[in-house]
Amino acid sequence: MSGDKPKTYSIKELACDFGVTPRTLRHYEDQGLISPERQGQNRIYSAEDRVRLAWILRGKRVGFSLSEIGEMLDLYDLGDGREKQRAVTAERCRDRIRALEAQRDDINATIEELQEFSELISNLKRDKKKGVWIRRDTGQPLQKYEP
Amino acid sequence: MSGDKPKTYSIKELACDFGVTPRTLRHYEDQGLISPERQGQNRIYSAEDRVRLAWILRGKRVGFSLSEIGEMLDLYDLGDGREKQRAVTAERCRDRIRALEAQRDDINATIEELQEFSELISNLKRDKKKGVWIRRDTGQPLQKYEP
DNA sequence: ACCGAGGTTGACGTTAACGTAAACGTTAAC
DNA sequence: GTTAACGTTTACGTTAACGTCAACCTCGGT
């Protein structure tokens, strides 16, 4: 009735859906990040695999290595479920969060500096007499890094 | 009076100040990211070099490659200062900003998911009868990824 | 004179994350 | 039946960002 054909994907389908190559997916499998089912030899990817892959790729975009991503995915598998183990898992989770927050701060700082700089050079003009660059807003001449 | 000894740094000083190795600094120099002065053979790093290095390392932390960082540093040197060139520079700047903002969104999404998950496993408890995990808050059993 | 602590330049090694190519099997189309 | 389009495994190649090591200089101290 409802779950007749849960929609699966071939390796190439899934790959170009996400803008990567089949080789990449096989590589992720070698690293234990995804384990699609098989029809004979061929890999069959499920909707869950899609979600996992999305996670992996976002992990990559924010700068994690494959093994780090592997660890994080392992967290989702909850280990053996013992209390202690779960406490460790939760703590690792929070570590990651802290690292990500620090990274976000870095990004914000970088954005700000780029923003300032972009505005600076957009507002720059030439003082014909002195042959020097000055800022249209403050009228100040350019300090460091004069061209 | 004011600028007597503008404070310089040896390679090792600067390196451990930033928690990297001298080799790393030489490598960055090979890639054209910093060009310290020389006293004979020895490298002498200035305060400006320090700032540059800080920029480089933050660039790394947010996931840029050395060559990308190189391009960004080149931006600061303003090319030859021609109008067109400066327009290009400013646009590239804004491109970078957009990329960084996208990355920040990714980070935020990842943080949120980790947060949710961390809370989930902290609130998890065992249903002795059924031998299954349920959530302390909702009372719901665990769905996907059961251990 | 000698040593150790710092510096230098090669140059080769390593790791991660794939790319690329070879050699092969399967299925659908012509 | 053969060609094309897909898949498979195995294995070597590549790039980035350094690590590591050798072989050397040079300076202040004892």
A14-33 pLDDT, tens digit per residue, is 999 999 999 999 999 999 99
Question: What are A25's two structure tokens?
Answer: 């997916």
pLDDT of A5 over the 60 cut = yes
Q: Does A58 touch chain B (CB under 8 A)?
A: yes
Give the distance, in angstroms, between residue A121 CA and nucleotide D24 C1': 47
The SS3 call for residue B65 is coil
Residues 97-136 of B with CB under 8 A from A: 97, 100-101, 103-104, 106-111, 114-115, 117-118, 121-122, 124, 126, 133
- φ/ψ of B80, rounded to 5, equals -95, 0
pLDDT range class, residue A51, cuts 50, 70, 90: very high
- φ/ψ of A41, rounded to 5, equals -90, -30
- φ/ψ of A45, rounded to 5, equals -95, 135
Between helix A83-122 and helix B66-76 the angle, nearest 10°, is 30
Asked if strand D comes closer than 7 Å to A26 Cβ, the answer is: yes
pLDDT in tens, B9-30: 999 999 999 999 999 999 999 9
pLDDT range class, residue B145, cuts 50, 70, 90: very low
pLDDT range class, residue A146, cuts 50, 70, 90: very low
Q: Give the residue nearest to nucleotide D6 (CA to C1').
A: A12
Q: Does A89 touch chain B (CB under 8 A)?
A: yes
**Residue A28 and residue A45 in contact, taking contact as beta carbons nearer than 8 Å:** no
Question: What are A142's two structure tokens?
Answer: 């350019």
pLDDT of B147 over the 50 cut = no
**Residue B57 and residue B63 in contact, taking contact as beta carbons nearer than 8 Å:** no
pLDDT in tens, B90-133: 888 999 999 999 999 999 999 999 999 888 888 877 777 877 76
**Residue A36 and residue A45 in contact, taking contact as beta carbons nearer than 8 Å:** yes
pLDDT range class, residue B146, cuts 50, 70, 90: very low
Contact A58 B124 (CB under 8 A): no
Q: Does B76 touch chain A (CB under 8 A)?
A: yes
